[in-house]
């Protein structure tokens, strides 16, 4: 790991070391036991030395601030101990001179720093969270001398730690927001580049390249596998080979992540030709109305579930206006008819993970005592909490014609009365539309972090 | 896994199914036991659902041809059985309709196809090769009921399989070469884009983005972590944050990989300003002379080790001419003085892996009975075999000023007499130069797969 030590410092922001100190003091107020967090190691791609880019564990990044590979930190009573090995002469040949353990310790404000092997005797009675890569998870299990469960099934002190970290990471401090504003700004640039590229692009892949190129040129990585597709109805579509045809809509869900891991997550849907058809414009306006209405509602105290239901209602009402659905919007939402066309939740937490803390399962997204609904129109809702200042969420309503849903005989029978299938057929040139922004809950309302983006 | 079924077919090439049939018939001629090869699964990045791009095992790709996730094949006596699950209704919602098992079976010419769970009883007495991801490796161990060793430590029938596959994959068939010509062509385009971008680029990251953008726009991935750096002396440098300054050389080692895994691997070194200084030009010409002389020697029967030593000799002679080294080139190479400035091997096998079959350790790269030298100037040589028609190798000599080598007191003492350190200091504006192309051994000589690239 080479550390970029020549980064300019921003004058009126607390230093990295100060921000991290505050985070671990807040942790110390919540748990009385020691905590050990591992950063993880690179995963091999096709042979051991050819690895995927290293991505440190988000929980490690939250308290250690830097993407150190194969390192660990021990936190207790607000103290930070760093465990990592210095580079070897061999690694200096292949990977260059790297920042030393003591240099890094100073940068992150560690109280002490040791070689990694010295961590083992310091793991006693410590809680931890399982990392994603198996090699490190094995080391965690060995050193803690217990089988580790995945984070969403943690028990005992590990579960207490999960809950404490979820509490801390639910709302973002200034250091986090400074990072998120950077990834949001680059993400907006990437979408602008995508819109500019479409005039000369022949395939989805070319638009994707233009967008990810902006992220890469800014020294960031993609926070998740980009979706850049004319088949917007495939919700997690990671293929990019289709040709762009003039009548297509292109759905681009692309977000940047800063070097220390803070994510953005934005979706736009544009007409390939530069001009919507009337049917595309009509449905786009329905989704946009839901998007705008939901963002308008974001403020402290509002239940995120209500924002989801508002999106459902606005979409249902819009589809009634267009003659696609029949009935009253509220009744249609009660019977989940909106979910025929809007089958996912209106958004999720955003932070170090694009679905923040999703490794905790619903422990982060769901208020204590609440569980996922088994309703078709609510089961994919990833966040069910009252909003609080400092939370960042996405707002991302959509309209899709998913064959697996619309051709399902049971659903066709159940919604026989409320869908005008003939009318729907007139909107065949709309496969999927989604409009997504990142919204910070402020003390008095909200701030759209990705606001500079230009809607088509 | 969604299969791109609308790919145009090339008329005068054998079909994928025919090529794969020939490969497994050649395998059947070498081993008498059944073989089961797993494709592997995606590795998680920061939470389970946020994964790195899937990369199938190269050995699976060689015999199955398609990057199917979580699939396996069983080969016996030239027969191919495919084991994979069809998509679920849930996966159709999120990932779209995918090619069915039977469609894929037909495409790859499988003799039979079953759900994955039916593989377990068909693994008896079967040899295999450990994949890279731990989850699949665990399944391999469970189903074969034995602890799997990494591929480079295989034993028994697994070791026999490793040797058989190494024999097959050492030389490329027409289907493989068709793929490699595609990745080579896109890689050349990427380097041309990098050279064009440098005029307006302020950082390494911007040049990298221009290069990788070409690879992505062509529907390919990077075969390895790109090196795009003004610190060319850091051999595996994966940082891209440095500003480009007019006096710098930029070293770009970037290669594409086709969707089915076939790699290219090219390095060029350009002056940021568009114009070499005299010292840069002098050393560039030394490396270029080595590059050209080595490629000239590539033909059947030639020992790759001799090509490496030729590179060492040309570099040593060039450095003598420039007054940096003192003595006769042959003597200097005998004492490894060239390795002060050219510490790595002249290249490696290329195929489905950028260092082809490096998961086998030296079993693929080294002729039976040969082992790595412990000489400073030979220890990093990855290939030591006589060249044969159908082999693809890289030729990549270089010149570097690596502080970890040049400032080492022992080496300074050992090479006191043969290095003119004062003269060397005049070349301080050269940190690293490498020139790399991909070369196919033909029946009568060689073909440079990446020949269309324009040297600066």
Distance from CA of B162 to the nearest CA of A (A): 14
Rounded CA separation B178/A239 (Å): 22
Domains of chain B: 16-170 (3.40.350.10), 174-448 (3.90.230.10)
Residue B456 has pLDDT above 80, yes or no: no
Q: Do B50 and A4 touch (CB under 8 A)?
A: no
Residue B237 has pLDDT above 90, yes or no: no
User: How much is the pLDDT for A7?
Assistant: 42
Q: Do A43 and B47 touch (CB under 8 A)?
A: no
Residue B454 has pLDDT above 90, yes or no: no
Burial level of A425, CB count in 10 A (0-12/13-18/19+)?
exposed
Q: Do A132 and B45 touch (CB under 8 A)?
A: yes
User: Backbone phi, then psi, for B30, in 5-degree steps?
Assistant: -105, -30
Q: Do A94 and B52 touch (CB under 8 A)?
A: no
User: How much is the pLDDT for A207?
Assistant: 98
> Closest residue of B to A2, CA-based?
B239
**Is pTM beyond 0.90 here?**
yes
Distance from CA of B211 to the nearest CA of A (A): 9
User: How much is the pLDDT for B376?
Assistant: 86
Residues of B in contact with A219 (CB under 8 A): 203, 205, 240-241
> Closest residue of A to B234, CA-based?
A96
Q: Do B209 and A208 touch (CB under 8 A)?
A: no
Rounded CA separation B166/B58 (Å): 12
Residues of B in contact with A203 (CB under 8 A): 217, 219
DSSP state of B147: P
How high does pLDDT run on average in chain B?
94
CB B228 within 8 Å of CB B191: no
Distance from CA of B413 to the nearest CA of A (A): 18
Residues of A in contact with B55 (CB under 8 A): 45-46
Q: Do A237 and B357 touch (CB under 8 A)?
A: no
Helical pair B204-217 and A204-217, crossing angle rounded to 10 deg: 170
- Would you list the DSSP string of B346-402? S--B-SSSSSTTGGGTHHHHB-TT-----STTTTT---BSB--TT-EEEE--EEE--
Q: Rounded mean pLDDT of B301-311?
A: 98
Q: Rounded mean pLDDT of B231-247?
A: 92
User: How much is the pLDDT for B1?
Assistant: 34
Q: What are the contacts of A4-12 at 24+ separation with CB within 8 A?
A: A4/A259, A4/B239, A4/B241, A5/A99, A5/A103, A5/A107, A10/A178
A95 SS3 class: helix
Q: How many CB pairs under 8 A join A and B?
A: 180
For chain A, which ranges sit under pLDDT 50?
1-11
Q: Do A46 and B359 touch (CB under 8 A)?
A: yes
How many C-beta atoms surround the C-beta of residue B85 within 10 A?
13
Residue A268's DSSP bridge partners are A252
Question: How does residue B69 score in pLDDT terms, banded at 50, 70 and 90?
Answer: very high
Residue A374's DSSP bridge partners are none
User: How much is the pLDDT for B256?
Assistant: 98
> Which strands make up the sheet holding A249-254, listed edge to edge?
A227-229, A249-254, A266-271
Distance from CA of A98 to the nearest CA of B (A): 11
Rounded CA separation A385/A404 (Å): 30
CB A455 within 8 Å of CB A292: no
Q: Do A217 and B236 touch (CB under 8 A)?
A: no
Q: Do B47 and A359 touch (CB under 8 A)?
A: yes
Distance from CA of A201 to the nearest CA of B (A): 9
Question: How does residue B9 score in pLDDT terms, banded at 50, 70 and 90?
Answer: very low
**In a mutagenesis test of the B interface, which of A91, A148, A217, A237 is the best target, namely the one with the most B β-carbons within 10 Å?**
A217
Q: In terms of Cα–Cα distance, which of B319, B362, B373, B367 is closest to B342? A: B319
User: How much is the pLDDT for B377?
Assistant: 83
Question: How does residue B323 score in pLDDT terms, banded at 50, 70 and 90?
Answer: very high
Distance from CA of A49 to the nearest CA of B (A): 8
Q: Do A213 and B218 touch (CB under 8 A)?
A: no
Rounded CA separation A160/B429 (Å): 56
User: How much is the pLDDT for A376?
Assistant: 85
Rounded CA separation B113/B83 (Å): 6
Rounded CA separation A374/A337 (Å): 15
Q: What is the pLDDT of residues B378-425, one digit of tens each?
A: 888 999 999 999 999 999 999 999 998 999 999 999 999 999 999 999
User: How much is the pLDDT for B3?
Assistant: 37
Residues of A in contact with B210 (CB under 8 A): 213, 217
Nearest to A2 among B89, B218, B239 (CB): B239
Distance from CA of A52 to the nearest CA of B (A): 7
> Closest residue of B to A46, CA-based?
B57
> Closest residue of A to B227, CA-based?
A95
User: How much is the pLDDT for A12?
Assistant: 57
Residues of A in contact with B57 (CB under 8 A): 46
Phi-psi region of B109 (alpha: psi -120 to 50; beta: other; left: phi over 0): left
Rounded CA separation B283/B321 (Å): 11
User: How much is the pLDDT for B5?
Assistant: 39
Rounded CA separation B443/B445 (Å): 6
Q: Do A205 and B225 touch (CB under 8 A)?
A: no
Q: In terms of Cα–Cα distance, which of A434, A398, A393 is closest to A254? A: A434
User: How much is the pLDDT for B235?
Assistant: 85
User: How much is the pLDDT for A451?
Assistant: 83
Nearest to A96 among B97, B203, B234 (CB): B234
Q: Rounded mean pLDDT of B430-448?
A: 97
Rounded CA separation A186/A438 (Å): 13
User: How much is the pLDDT for A377?
Assistant: 83
């Amino acid at each position: 790991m080479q550390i970029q030590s020549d980064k300019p410092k921003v004058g009126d922001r607390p230093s990295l070391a100060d921000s991290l100190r505050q985070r671990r003091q807040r942790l110390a107020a919540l748990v009385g036991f020691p905590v050990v967090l591992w950063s993880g190691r690179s995963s091999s791609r096709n042979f051991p030395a050819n690895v995927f880019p290293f991505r440190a564990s988000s929980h490690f990044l939250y308290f250690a601030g830097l993407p150190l590979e194969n390192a660990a930190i021990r936190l207790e009573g607000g103290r930070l101990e760093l465990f990592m090995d210095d580079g070897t002469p061999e690694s200096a040949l292949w990977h260059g001179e790297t920042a030393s353990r003591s240099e890094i310790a100073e940068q992150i404000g560690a109280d002490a720093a040791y070689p990694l092997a010295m961590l083992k005797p310091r793991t006693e009675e410590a809680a931890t969270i399982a990392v994603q890569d198996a090699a490190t998870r094995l080391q965690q299990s060995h050193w803690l001398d217990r089988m580790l469960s995945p984070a969403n099934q943690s028990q005992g002190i590990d579960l207490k730690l999960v809950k404490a970290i979820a509490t801390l990471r639910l709302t973002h401090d200034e250091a986090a927001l400074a990072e998120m504003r950077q990834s949001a700004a680059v993400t907006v640039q990437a979408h602008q580049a995508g819109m500019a590229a479409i005039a000369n692009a022949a395939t989805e892949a070319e638009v994707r390249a233009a967008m990810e190129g902006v992220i890469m040129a800014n020294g960031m990585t993609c926070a998740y596998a980009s979706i850049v597709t004319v088949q917007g109805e495939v919700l997690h579509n990671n293929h990019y080979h289709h040709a762009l045809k003039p009548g297509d809509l292109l759905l681009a869900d692309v977000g940047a992540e800063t070097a220390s891991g803070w994510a953005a997550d934005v979706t736009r849907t544009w007409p390939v030709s530069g001009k919507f058809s009337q049917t595309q414009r009509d449905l786009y306006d329905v989704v946009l109305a839901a998007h705008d209405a939901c963002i308008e509602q974001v403020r402290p105290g509002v239940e995120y579930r209500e924002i989801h239901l508002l999106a459902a209602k606005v979409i249902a009402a819009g589809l009634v206006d267009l003659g696609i659905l029949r009935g009253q919007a509220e009744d249609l939402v009660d019977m989940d008819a909106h979910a025929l066309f809007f089958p996912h939740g209106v958004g999720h937490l955003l932070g170090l993970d694009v679905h923040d803390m999703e490794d905790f399962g619903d422990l982060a997204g769901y208020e204590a005592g609440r569980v996922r609904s088994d309703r078709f129109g609510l089961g994919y809702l990833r966040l069910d909490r009252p909003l609080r200042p400092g939370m960042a969420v996405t707002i991302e309503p959509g309209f899709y014609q998913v064959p697996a849903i619309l051709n399902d005989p049971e659903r066709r029978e159940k919604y026989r009365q409320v869908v005008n299938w003939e009318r729907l057929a007139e909107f065949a040139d709309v496969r999927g539309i989604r409009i997504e922004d990142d919204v910070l809950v402020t003390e008095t309302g909200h701030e759209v972090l990705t606001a500079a983006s230009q809607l088509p």
